[in-house]
Structure 1
Amino acid sequence: MIESWRWFGPLDKISLPEITQTGASGIVTALHDIPYGEVWPVEAIAARQKMIADIGLLDWMVVESLPIHERIKRGEGDLSPLFATYRQSMANLATCGITTICYNFMPLLDWTRTTLNAPVQGGGTALRFDRQDMAVFEIFMLERIDAEADYTPDIIDAAKRHFDQMQPHDKDHLLASIMAGLPGAYDRYSISQLRDELVKYKDIDHASLRANYSRFLHEVIPTAAELGMRLCVHPDDPPRDILGLPRIVSTHADIAWILDEVDDMANGLTLCSGSLGANPDNDVPQIAAAFAERIHFAHLRNVSIDDDGSFQEAAHLDGDVDMVALVKILMAEEQRRWQNGRADHEIVFRPDHGHELLSDIGRGTHPGYPLIGRMRGLAELRGIVRALAHGQKD
């Protein structure tokens, strides 16, 4: 397995020389400064690629992500120019030798958390999604119509009591936490802006979003196949409807539909153990085994789930996902690919998210992407890989 590290480009508080000290050799990044829907020029791709290569020991291996414009997700207007732009950016990446693209089809928001600094036993902080805090936001701050239907009476009552005690800075903090999951889009929504954006999705349900996703796949996967590229969809995070927006990449059945819709190796999966693991009905190792052949990239992290559906980022070897079993499945798939003569038999993975620990605290890195916490996670995952590889030799 190939160790990689997500880097947010020149604005990242973690430098490339620091990343070399983690032991990772692959860089996962994107041209975050280019607005959604615009072509990624070869010159810009090559310049970023050179910036990474000049450090030594590092190689840009995965794009995360080449964003999909919201109009494509809504199926709004003449989309031909947007699809043409996406295909051109793919071609430009392929020209530079970058052939794996991680993307998501989550409407409007990326990953969503309500707290960015939940305390961790022994010190440090973690990302957390709390159902009560989300109810506070949806029902009493955003005042979303019909939001109460998504929560139990107990949660609504507790949310109301909490909301009544909140100060303006508490509300600002909750909004900022929920908006923090947009690492590739530096603009954040205010409450009024978010309401306006949600209106644009008022007629989009699961069926229509799936139809729009199907169109995207049919528009871009044939080009990816011609270019020798691998596109790999990232699961929804959390894997459930949120803010009244449908989510369609959340379950085993969802993934099966996606991979069958355009049955080509270019149409693949980013196996994110934390995103899928936040749904207690998802058996993540079983999902990995079922779709192993189409896993082109992996995000490895863990979560601990509460009875009410809340969850918190756990240490990589703790939580509710059996990480050892999962890595064993990925390594068995690598072995199968190697035996079948695939040149790209190794699976690129990265330690996803991490607790803020030690000197991480106060450094101001992207939420969920500290240095020490992720390096701890990478070291733990590296230990699993080495131990399992030793067992394979025996």
Structure 2
Amino acid sequence: MRMTFRWYGEGNDSITLKQIKQIPGVEGIVWALHDVQAGEEWPIVKINEVKKQADEYGLNIDVVESVNVHEDIKLGLPTRDKYIENYKRTIEKLATVGVKVICYNFMPIFDWTRTELFKEMEDGSTALFYEKAKVVGMDPKELVENISKNSTFTLPGWEPERLSRLQELFEAYKGVTQEDLFQNLAYFLKEVIPVAEKNGVRMGIHPDDPPWPIFGLPRIVCNKENIRRILDVLDSKSNGVTLCSGSLGANPSNNIAEMVREFADRIPFAHIRNVKIYENGDFIETSHRTSDGSVDIYEIVKAYHEIGFDGYARPDHGRHIWDEKCRPGYGLYDRALGIMYLW
């Protein structure tokens, strides 16, 4: 297992590369160009800038998360081909600087969904929280307003440019079924996977977070059956899954360790984190320690060990502890503790 740490870039993160370098066993950063809009081709100048910054601290940039997929691709619109061509060129550019893995998702409109960014826990720390009943009865606009006003950092999947088109996007998705979304994903994969394969890059689709439909929007990466079907679209190691124990683990019927063993050779990248699930369907993100949540992190790491996993991994969302001021879910301290627990 090659340990990495997600970093949002200079001026866009409370954490420095110097601090990341001091976490035992961390080899590289998981990065992206967060100021480039979905669908745009990534400029090589900006890519090289991140490489230079990471090189200064001896950290690799092997994993990118995410090269975001434009909504026109998800919707299967005639305009999708131009955005797919931009995606292909971005893959080629990233390969020239040594990128080995690209994590992406295919969630309509929203990326991850939470109702509270800093829910206080019994020990005084805070964490990302999902209140099921609130989401069921909430207007999506209200959720956007709550998320946007409660963070001083940009949040992946909640970019202002995308959310400013909220009403328009919801209209566009009316009548789009899960099968439609899957077919649009298959079209995308058949175009980009050969390019990734040719350039030695492995694509890893991220599961839906949480793994069920939100606001009536279709979701297609929720369980083992979904993942198996996606991997069957193209039998290539470049068509893989970013196996996220926290996203999938919000549904207690998902057995993550079982998925690790089944999809062993198709997992280029692993997100490992814990959630505590309540009887009413609410959940909160906890420390990485198995006993603090509902996900068997011990069994998951054991499964990775058994399959001889030599891909990339990172601790995913952590709590906000010791009065750290940070991006929700992405503080230094709890994720560093998470890494030591995983080791």
TM range (shorter): over 0.9
Counterparts of 1:171 and 1:51, CA distance in 2: 33
Q: Secondary structure at the match of 1:358?
A: coil
TM-score, with length taken from structure 2: 0.93
Residue number in structure 1 paired with 2:134:
133
Task: Name which of 194, 202, 215 aligns with 1:230.
Answer: 202
Q: Which digits, 9 at most, give the CA deviation of each residue in 1:296-348, with x for residues without a partner?
A: 000000011112221111211121111111111112222xxxxxxxxxx6221
Residue number in structure 1 paired with 2:188:
216
Q: Judging changes above 3 Å, is the alpha-carbon distance between structure 1 residues 352 and 30 closer, same or farther for their aligned structure 2 residues?
A: same
Q: Which digits, 9 at most, give the CA deviation of each residue in 1:18-58, with x for residues without a partner?
A: 1112222210000111121111122221111111111x231
Counterparts of 1:107 and 1:171, CA distance in 2: 15
Q: Aligned letter for 2:303?
A: I
Q: CA deviation at 1:186?
A: 3.4
Task: Name which of 293, 301, 326 aligns with 1:327.
Answer: 301
Residue number in structure 2 paired with 1:26:
28
Whether the aligned pair in 1 keeps the contact of 2:196 and 2:202 (CA below 8 Å) is: yes
Q: Judging changes above 3 Å, is the alpha-carbon distance between structure 1 residues 184 and 110 closer, same or farther for their aligned structure 2 residues?
A: closer
1:77 aligned onto 2:49 = no
Counterparts of 2:147 and 2:15, CA distance in 1: 25
Structure 2: unaligned runs, 5 residues or longer: none
Q: How does 1:182-197 map to 2 (within 5 A)?
A: 182-183=155-156, 186-187=159-160, 193-197=165-169
Whether the aligned pair in 1 keeps the contact of 2:208 and 2:219 (CA below 8 Å) is: yes
TM-align CA RMSD: 2.2
Q: Secondary structure at the match of 2:342?
A: helix
Q: Judging changes above 3 Å, is the alpha-carbon distance between structure 1 residues 105 and 181 closer, same or farther for their aligned structure 2 residues?
A: farther
Q: CA deviation at 1:74?
A: 0.4
1:245 aligned onto 2:217 = yes
Q: Which digits, 9 at most, give the CA deviation of each residue in 1:274-309, with x for residues without a partner?
A: 001001211111111111111100000001111222
Q: Aligned letter for 1:212?
A: N
Q: Secondary structure at the match of 1:135?
A: helix
Q: How does 1:9-158 map to 2 (within 5 A)?
A: 9-10=9-10, 11-23=12-24, 24-54=26-56, 56-138=57-139
Q: Judging changes above 3 Å, is the alpha-carbon distance between structure 1 residues 125 and 84 closer, same or farther for their aligned structure 2 residues?
A: same
Counterparts of 2:330 and 2:233, CA distance in 1: 33
Whether the aligned pair in 1 keeps the contact of 2:211 and 2:222 (CA below 8 Å) is: yes
| Structure 1 residue ranges, 4+ long, deviating more than 3 angstroms after superposition | 170-178
1:201 aligned onto 2:173 = yes
Counterparts of 1:65 and 1:193, CA distance in 2: 21
Whether the aligned pair in 2 keeps the contact of 1:137 and 1:174 (CA below 8 Å) is: no
Structure 1: unaligned runs, 5 residues or longer: 143-169, 335-344, 383-394
Counterparts of 2:154 and 2:16, CA distance in 1: 21
Q: Aligned letter for 1:287?
A: M
Q: Judging changes above 3 Å, is the alpha-carbon distance between structure 1 residues 171 and 28 closer, same or farther for their aligned structure 2 residues?
A: closer
Q: Which digits, 9 at most, give the CA deviation of each residue in 1:243-262, with x for residues without a partner?
A: 11100000110000000011
Q: Judging changes above 3 Å, is the alpha-carbon distance between structure 1 residues 100 and 175 closer, same or farther for their aligned structure 2 residues?
A: closer
Task: Name which of 275, 300, 314 aligns with 1:350.
Answer: 314
Structure richer in helix, relative to its length: 1
Whether the aligned pair in 2 keeps the contact of 1:111 and 1:182 (CA below 8 Å) is: no
Residue number in structure 1 paired with 2:340:
379
Whether the aligned pair in 2 keeps the contact of 1:110 and 1:182 (CA below 8 Å) is: no
Whether the aligned pair in 2 keeps the contact of 1:359 and 1:372 (CA below 8 Å) is: no
Q: How does 1:248-327 map to 2 (within 5 A)?
A: 248-317=220-289, 318-327=292-301
Residue number in structure 2 paired with 1:152:
none
Q: When the two structures are aligned, how many residues end up with a matched partner? A: 339
Q: Secondary structure at the match of 1:3?
A: strand
Counterparts of 1:356 and 1:297, CA distance in 2: 24
Counterparts of 1:177 and 1:233, CA distance in 2: 28
Counterparts of 1:375 and 1:288, CA distance in 2: 23
Over alpha carbons, which structure has the higher Rg? 1
Deviation larger for 227-236 or 324-333: 324-333
Counterparts of 1:252 and 1:186, CA distance in 2: 29
Q: Aligned letter for 2:315?
A: P
Q: Aligned letter for 1:46?
A: N
Counterparts of 2:218 and 2:94, CA distance in 1: 31
Counterparts of 1:84 and 1:196, CA distance in 2: 24
Q: Judging changes above 3 Å, is the alpha-carbon distance between structure 1 residues 102 and 367 closer, same or farther for their aligned structure 2 residues?
A: same
Q: Which digits, 9 at most, give the CA deviation of each residue in 1:63-104, with x for residues without a partner?
A: 001110010000112322111110000000111111210110
Q: Aligned letter for 1:15?
A: T
TM-score, with length taken from structure 1: 0.81
1:6 aligned onto 2:1 = no
Whether the aligned pair in 2 keeps the contact of 1:330 and 1:347 (CA below 8 Å) is: no
